[in-house]
Every structure is written in C-alpha cells, then in structure tokens.
C-alpha cells in the first residue's frame, strides 16, 4: 500500500525539528542557516533608523509665490521699457546737438573690385552691320539692338531670341517693362512690340514729333496740329485712342506713372530770353490737371516718378527733385555741360566734364534723401550713364565704373575708347563699339 506524499513531508519536517531541538539541548552552535518552521510567520528585523516623514506640500502657497515672482519680472520689464523710451525721446529732441557729429562716421574705406575687362567669347562679339542706326537697350532680361532694317532681341549669352523687320526709315526705339515702341521722327506710323511678336501698327494723320510707351503698353504720341503747337494722344495696349490733351505751349517730354493711369507732361516756353519749363500731371480718367509744378528755370528734357512720392526732373542746366504738388524740394546746378544722365524710381545721376582733364563730376541723387552727393570719376572722359536700382554705372574712354549713392566707387574695369554706349545686366556689361557689341564680366 502506497504512502501518501503529504505524510512523507510531515515526517521530514518533524525530523528536522528534532535535530534543531537536539542542538539546543546540547548547547551546540546552530547551523549557519537556521531552520524555520513553515507554520510560523517570518519576523522582520527592526530598522536601525526610522524613515523620515515627507512634508505636506501646500499648492496654494506655491501658486501665490509664482504669481508674486511674475509680477516682479513684469514690473522690471516695464521699468526698462520706460527708461528706453525716455532715452529715445531725449535723443530725438536733442538731435540738433549730436547728429551732425555722426555724418560720415560710417564712410569707411572699402576695397574697389577690379574686374579684368576681358572680352567674353561664345556668341560674342555680336557683329554689327554698316547701318548708321546704333541702338542698344534692355527690355526685361533681353538685349535689344536695331539698325536701319531690323530689330533684334538677344539673350544675355548673345543668342538671338527673336527679330523683326521694322520697315521704318530712321527708327527711334523706346522701351518700358516688356513693351517696345518704334517710330520715325516726323513719320506717321508707330509700332508696338513684345519680345515675341509685333502687337500692332498704327497710322495717324499728323506727323510724330516724339512718343513714349508705358510698362503696360500704353502709348503717348505727340504731334503738331493746325490749332495747337503740341497735342498728346494716348492709346491703350490695343491701339485704341483713349485720351487727348492739348497745350498752347510746346511739349518736350512725357513719362507715364508706374500704373499707366496717368502721365507727367513737360511743356516749355521762353521768358526774357531764357527757357523755362512746367511739369503737368494728368490722369486719363479726368479732363482736369491733377498737378501743375512751379516754373523751373531750365529746359527739362526728362521726368520720372520716384518711389518716395516725388518727381525727378532733368534739366539742361539744373537737376530738380519735386514733391507730389510740383514744388521744388531740392535743385542742383551743373558745374559744366551735362554729358549724360540716368533716372529710375530709386535713384538718379548726372555726369558733367570735370575741370581736371580725363575726369568727370558725378552728381548722385537718392529718392530717400533731399541732397546731392558728388564724386570725381577716374575712368577718363565720361560718355554714358546707366543705373540699376541704387547703383550707377559710368562708361568713360578708359574704364567702366560703378558707384553707390554715397559717391563711393564700387568696381571698375579697363576698356578701350572705341565704345560709345553700354548697358548693364546681371553682373555683365555690354559695350557698343563702331563694328561690334562686346561683353565683359563686371562684378560690383
């Protein structure tokens, strides 16, 4: 008969208890690991040190402390702002005492970039024909040339983009934005082009004295009629006449505003043997003039609306900056005969011959300022000016130079005296000579 397993276990435990009792009775040392009875609970030893009780955190006190700290920081910031504002007001009202001392403090000597003037190869030089018509202009990012038979559009690398036969005897080309106007002085036909096509040809009854084009394709044509010495007709981008304006005085210049919604018309007359000019501002939706300037004691040959609610006016003897009401803000009288000029919405410049041989005097005007900056040029006898933003480029008979609006020379490149005109595009200068158009790299 098999014994029950539980009985065996009980016997074993009982025998271990007997062994333990024997050790106790005989005062013998106990084994290293004492035997524990299974039916008695294991007693835990007391810890030598009692655990510390964690303090109770009061969340209300913490929030109050944080709120108090934020108020202190805010108060400090307000105090700092008040101090800065007070210092700013003090500096502003005392500016007449210190601002003059700062003039020129930032005019530091700087290194002039010297370009090598090496003529580029590839599609250059562009060989010209024997035509007496020598036109070199920019239209968007294309180079435009014309002769007595054709108009050519070139990419900046010299590749032909397009060309047109203009069928004009002695074409005059005017460009604004992405539109080009071509007409004959004294003719009765004018043509409007984009880079890709001829948009229209218009024939009129009276002879054209001159014409201008706006960036959106509007065209202003000045003619002489039996009734008026000058009459201006304005045509939209489709060639339809939309406006007519006449004057008892002769018109010498027309320039569109930047939206083609109106234009500045300059008339001239003679008083006491001296020529004087008046600039009129006309909107095409009104028969009344919006502005008539004061009389300008010079023959104004070009005007331009700048980006500071002002008007540039280039005269044969003086340069003017007018406000939007036609009053003179600033004027500059040339020290010698004007050689060339350039104007855009940001800047303007006029160059005249200098007293020093082989030099020029450059007058620079910034739309943000009401003053003139003068610089003596070093590229030889000046020939032509052009501008890009607030940088001005000057072609002389020895070099091409670039200037900023403070009169600092930024860059230069040596050239020969065979060039008569030039344009600047994307760090390159395109030079028109007697037989070809050359290209040189020109970093500024």
Q: What does each of the 444 residues of the chain score in pLDDT, given as a tens digit?
A: 444 444 444 434 444 444 444 444 444 444 444 444 444 444 444 444 444 455 555 666 666 767 777 777 788 888 888 888 888 777 777 665 555 545 444 444 568 999 999 999 999 999 987 777 789 999 989 999 998 899 999 999 999 999 999 999 989 999 999 999 999 999 999 999 999 999 999 999 999 999 999 999 999 999 988 888 899 999 999 999 999 999 889 999 999 998 899 999 999 999 888 999 999 999 999 989 999 999 999 999 999 999 999 999 999 999 999 999 999 999 999 999 999 999 999 999 999 998 888 899 999 999 999 999 999 999 999 999 999 999 999 999 999 999 999 999 999 999 999 999 999 999 999 999 988 999 999 999
Assigned domain for 69 exists:
no
Domain of residue 378, residue span: 109-133+337-444
Say what the pLDDT of residue 54 is: 52
Assigned domain for 158 exists:
no
- Pairs from 355-358 (Cβ < 8 Å, separation ≥ 24): 358/397, 358/398
Assigned domain for 411 exists:
yes
Q: Give dist(CA 359, CA 378) in Å, integer.
A: 5
pTM for the full model?
A: 0.75
Report how many domains make up the chain: 1
Assigned domain for 302 exists:
no
Assigned domain for 77 exists:
no
Assigned domain for 36 exists:
no
Assigned domain for 31 exists:
no
Assigned domain for 119 exists:
yes
Say what the pLDDT of residue 431 is: 97
């Amino acid at each position: 008969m098999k014994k029950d397993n539980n009985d065996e276990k009980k016997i074993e435990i009982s025998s271990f208890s007997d062994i333990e009792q024997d050790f106790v009775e005989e005062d013998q040392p106990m084994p290293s690991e004492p035997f524990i009875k299974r039916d008695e609970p294991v007693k835990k030893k007391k810890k030598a040190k009692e655990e510390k009780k964690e303090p109770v955190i009061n969340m209300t006190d913490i929030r109050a402390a944080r709120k108090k700290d934020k108020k202190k920081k805010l108060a400090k910031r307000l105090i700092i702002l008040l101090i800065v504002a007070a210092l700013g007001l003090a500096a502003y009202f005392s500016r007449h005492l210190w601002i003059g001392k700062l003039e020129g403090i930032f005019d530091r000597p700087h290194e002039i970039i010297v370009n090598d003037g090496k003529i580029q190869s590839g599609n250059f030089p562009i060989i010209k024909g024997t035509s007496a018509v020598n036109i070199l202009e920019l239209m968007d990012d294309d180079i435009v040339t014309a002769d007595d038979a054709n108009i050519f559009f070139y990419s900046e690398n010299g590749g032909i983009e397009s060309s047109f036969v203009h069928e004009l005897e002695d074409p005059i080309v005017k460009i604004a934005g992405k539109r080009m106007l071509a007409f004959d002085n004294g003719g009765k036909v004018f043509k409007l082009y984009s880079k890709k096509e001829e948009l229209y040809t218009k024939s009129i009854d009276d002879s054209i004295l001159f014409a201008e084009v706006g960036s959106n394709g509007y065209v202003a044509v000045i003619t002489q009629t039996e009734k008026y010495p000058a009459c201006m007709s304005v045509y939209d981008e489709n060639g339809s006449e939309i406006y007519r304006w006449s004057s008892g005085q002769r018109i010498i210049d027309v320039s569109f505003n930047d939206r083609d919604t109106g234009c500045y018309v300059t008339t001239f007359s003679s008083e006491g043997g001296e020529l004087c000019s008046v600039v009129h501002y006309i909107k095409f939706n009104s028969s009344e003039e919006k502005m008539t300037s004061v009389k300008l004691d010079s023959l104004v040959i070009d005007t331009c609306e700048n980006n500071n609610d002002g008007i540039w006016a280039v005269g044969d003897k003086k340069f003017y900056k007018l406000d939007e009401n036609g009053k003179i803000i600033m004027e500059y009288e040339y020290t010698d005969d004007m050689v060339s000029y350039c104007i855009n919405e940001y800047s303007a410049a006029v160059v005249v011959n200098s007293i020093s041989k082989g030099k020029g005097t450059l007058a620079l005007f910034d739309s943000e300022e009401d003053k003139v900056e003068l610089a003596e040029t070093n590229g030889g006898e000046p020939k032509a000016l052009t501008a890009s933003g607030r940088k001005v480029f000057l072609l002389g008979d020895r070099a091409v130079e670039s200037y900023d609006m403070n009169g600092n020379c930024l860059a230069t490149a040596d050239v020969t005296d065979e060039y008569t005109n030039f344009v600047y595009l994307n760090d390159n200068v395109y030079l028109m000579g007697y037989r070809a158009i050359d290209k040189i790299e020109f970093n500024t």
